A and B are shown apart, each in its own frame.
Chain A
């Protein structure tokens, strides 16, 4: 495994840990942005350029900003008043996620023998992706378009001020 992979993996995991452990929510959101950027670089290392740039464009450029706006609009950027930041049942949550990681890691390491070795670098052009999206995957594309329209309208309606509501 190359040095670049270890560096990117370390940055991503450190960012993930920071995103769930820090007290200040805006710092958590910025750590999440670091995770997104680290993942985009991992995608680029896996020769998936389109997915990597789409990850930066959508996640860093839109979802991270959305999370930050939500934090500021719900006044969660102020320090928490009492009881700390972890819920009362944090032990159970930690145990469950540790168990999930243990199972996933065991499965990956057990099946190492069946995984393929290094193969040729795939040379994927955007033309091929376009053809695939318009050819074989046109139905999921149209459904995702409908889904995004519904999400857009739904998010606006859910977050809109209702008539007569005190602001």
Chain B
């Protein structure tokens, strides 16, 4: 199995790839819920980055990376809840979740 120079590089590249995939999903799909799925993917990729850096940088006993990731998980869950509530509310009003059709500010 080919390897990278440091074990950290592998994790960072996987996180970058996952982030790019999430960004592509958020930017190219029509359904509003898929945009939220893409956002969750991006947040998870950032968490992976945080934990990988926590593990491999000096002073892991300061726990900075781990606590940051835990808070990020909590905030992402709250944001997913509010975002999905908004999508449900919009669907109730416009009877669609298609983002290409929501191109007018007038309700």
Contact = CB atoms under 8 A, between A and B. Distances in A.
Instruction: Establish whether A and B are touching in the complex (CB under 8 Å).
Output: yes
B29 A87 contact: yes
B66 A124 contact: yes
Given A28-B34, A87-B29, A108 B88 contact: no
17 contacts: A5-B11, A13-B21, A35-B18, A42-B14, A46-B51, A51-B69, A63-B40, A76-B33, A85-B29, A86-B30, A93-B24, A93-B28, A97-B23, A112-B4, A113-B5, A116-B8, A116-B57
B87 A74 contact: yes
Interface residues of A, number: 88
Contact of B85 (A98, A105, A158): A158
Interface of B: 1-14, 16-31, 33-34, 36-38, 40-41, 44, 47-48, 51-52, 54-58, 60-61, 63, 66-67, 69-71, 73-82, 84-89, 91-92, 97, 99-100
Nearest to B31: A76
A118 B6 CA distance: 7
B18 A115 contact: no
Interface in A70-104: 70-71, 73-76, 80, 83, 85-90, 92-94, 96-98, 100-101, 104
A153 B91 CA distance: 20
Given A70-B87, A112-B6, A116-B6, A101 B61 contact: no
Interface in A9-58: 9, 12-13, 16-17, 19-20, 25, 28-29, 32, 35-36, 39, 42-43, 46-48, 50-51, 54-55, 58
Contact of A19 (B20, B41, B89): B41
Nearest to A16: B21
Most buried by A among B14, B17, B60, B91: B14
Contacts of A94: 24, 27-28
B46 to A, nearest CB: 11
B89 A158 contact: yes
Contacts of B61: 122, 124, 128
Nearest to B41: A16
A140 B61 CA distance: 19
Contacts of B60: 119, 122, 124
Contacts of B100: 83, 87-88
Most buried by B among A63, A105, A140: A63
